[in-house]
Amino acid sequence: MEQNRHIRLGHGSGGKLTHDLVTGLFLRYFDNEILAQQGDSGLFPLDGSGMAGKMAFSTDAYVVDPIFFPGGNIGSLAVSGTVNDIAVTGADPHYLSAAFILEEGFPVDRLEEIVREMADVAREAGVRIIAGDTKVVNKGKCDKVFITTAGVGFLEDRLAHIAGGEQVRPGDRILINGYAGDHGIAILGERESLTFTSPVHSDAACLNGLIRDITDHHEVHFMRDATRGGVATVLAELAGLSRRPGANKMGLSIDETAIPIREEVRGICEVFGYDPLYMANEGKVVMVVPGDQAEAVLERMRRHPLGRDSALFGTVVEEHPGKVVLHTEIGGRRLLDMLAGEQLPRIC
């Protein structure tokens, strides 16, 4: 029963409502086999070009409020977010486009700060911004600045299985490249209505270098960046793969204490009633690798500047197919599912 035929904030939270909107509306009308894969990028063959491999194509809109936050701004996010969406499919990101929607009256100095940061981040990641667009709207018709980036990358055939996750099987291990929930807390801390201060910075970063380092040396069965909806949502999506026709029947067994979460993040989550596993990240990849390579991958990840706090925190198992079972810090068990709606601060 659809209680309400209007778009609510929860439709953009990356959780269940977003999922329903995408499958129930966009996929229904845009119906094609590439989109139906529902990966972070669309993967398409270079028909007729004579080139091997595939192209990865991705786009993302950035409307983050506040536009400046500890550890980055809307511009750095717009670059790293799209770079990561391409990189987690196994592809090498090369080119981006950037479209700006600017609110009348927005200071040019601030815009320059944003653009300079975009250029820096892109340069570091080895991608170039080669196309763009600018629109200005009347005051109040948008909030300061919105940015949409799109990007393309090249995907080698040997990595083409990662996005679909069809090689994920029981015995595989699950890793993350560091602390979860930092970005969510950094953003929250800048919002006026919740009065708290926190030393936590956003983890926004381009992950293509780290990912390349791993895929060059090891086998990877699946990966996804844990953005909106957090680590929990990626895990729920991963477990959901086993519901596809012909897929391996598998569930996930997760060790809650092994997921790195900063004390400062945990504290704020306790205060406002958030679950850190659902807090957004902008520089975290959840990776599934064969069990016998897990330790080696972990070691390599930890040698990378963006992976110093990497951890192994879960295993793909034959039991409870389609479900994510979390082993809690006290030794209890519970199920982990997608975020139902946007997390709200609460007192109860």
Partner 1 sequence: MCLSIPGKVISIENDIATVSIGGSEVQAGLQLLDDVSIGDYVLVHSGFALQLISEEEAAQTLALIRELEDLSDDDDIPIQ
Partner 2 sequence: MKYINEYRDKELVRILVDRIRTYRGPHVRFMEVCGGHTMAIQKFGIPSLLPDNVSLVSGPGCPVCVTSLQFVDHAIALGRRDDTIITTYGDLIRVPGSTSSLEQEKSHGSDIRMVYSTLEALAIARDNPSMQVVFLGIGFETTAPASAAALVQAKKENLPNFSVLSAHKVMPPAMAAIVDEDVKLDGYLAPGHVSTITGSHIYRDICEKYGLPVVVSGFEPADILQSIMMLLEQIRTGNISVEIQYKRVVTPEGNLKAQKMLQDVFKLRDDWWRGLGVLPLSGLGVSEAYADWDAERRFTAIEVEETQEPEGCICGEVLKGVSHPTECILFDSVCNPANPVGTCMVSEEGACQAFYKYGTE
Q: Which residues bind partner 1 (CB under 8 A)?
A: 185, 189, 195-200, 262-268, 270-273, 346-348
In our burial notation (b when 16+ CB lie closer than 10 A, e otherwise), range 75-111 reads bbbbbbbbbbbbbbbbbbbbebbbbbbbbeebeeeeb
Cα dihedral: 167, 168, 172, 178 (round 10): 110
Site for partner 2 in 316-335 (CB under 8 A): 320, 323, 325-335
The pattern of x and - marking residues 256 through 285 that bind partner 2 according to CB under 8 A reads -------x--xx--x-xx-x----------
Which partner from the list partner 2, partner 1, none does 197 bind, CB cut-off 5 to 8 Å by kind? partner 1
Which partner from the list partner 2, partner 1, none does 199 bind, CB cut-off 5 to 8 Å by kind? partner 1
The pattern of x and - marking residues 217 through 256 that bind partner 2 according to CB under 8 A reads ----------------------------------------
Q: Please tell me the distance from the alpha carbon of residue 317 to that of residue 333, in angstroms, as a whole number.
A: 15
Shortest distance, position 186 Cβ to partner 1, whole Å: 11
Q: How far is CA 310 from CA 163, 167, 181, in A?
A: 21, 23, 14
Shortest distance, position 201 Cβ to partner 1, whole Å: 13
Which partner from the list partner 2, partner 1, none does 54 bind, CB cut-off 5 to 8 Å by kind? none
Q: Which of 30, 25, 88, 8 is nearest to 56 (CA)?
A: 88
Helix orientation angle between 108-125 and 74-87, rounded to the nearest 10 degrees: 30
138 or 193, CB closer to partner 2? 193
Which partner from the list partner 2, partner 1, none does 296 bind, CB cut-off 5 to 8 Å by kind? none
Which partner from the list partner 2, partner 1, none does 200 bind, CB cut-off 5 to 8 Å by kind? partner 1
Which partner from the list partner 1, partner 2, none does 38 bind, CB cut-off 5 to 8 Å by kind? none
Q: Please tell me the distance from the alpha carbon of residue 19 to that of residue 44, in angstroms, as a whole number.
A: 23
* Dihedrals phi, psi of 16, to nearest 5 degrees: -60, -40
In the block, residue with structure tokens 């983890």: 203
Which partner from the list partner 2, partner 1, none does 198 bind, CB cut-off 5 to 8 Å by kind? partner 1
Of these, 3, 49, 138, 197, which contacts partner 2 (CB under 8 A)?
Answer: 3
Q: Please tell me the distance from the alpha carbon of residue 44 to that of residue 57, in angstroms, as a whole number.
A: 8
189 or 251, CB closer to partner 1? 189
26 or 196, CB closer to partner 1? 196
Q: Please tell me the distance from the alpha carbon of residue 344 to that of residue 340, in angstroms, as a whole number.
A: 11
| Residue 174: Cβ within 10 Å count | 29
219 or 264, CB closer to partner 1? 264
Based on the shown chain and the rule CB under 8 A, indicate whether residue 140 belongs to the binding site for partner 2.
Answer: no
Of these, 25, 36, 131, 344, which contacts partner 2 (CB under 8 A)?
Answer: 344
105 or 345, CB closer to partner 1? 345
- Peptide bond before 107: cis, by omega within 30 degrees of 0? no
Of these, 14, 15, 72, 93, which contacts partner 2 (CB under 8 A)?
Answer: 15
Q: Please tell me the distance from the alpha carbon of residue 312 to that of residue 286, in angstroms, as a whole number.
A: 10
Q: Which residues contact 73 (CB under 8 A, 6 or more apart)?
A: 67, 113, 114, 117
Sites of contact with partner 2 (CB under 8 A): 1-4, 6-10, 15-17, 20, 193-195, 263, 266-267, 270, 272-273, 275, 320, 323, 325-335, 337, 340-341, 344-348
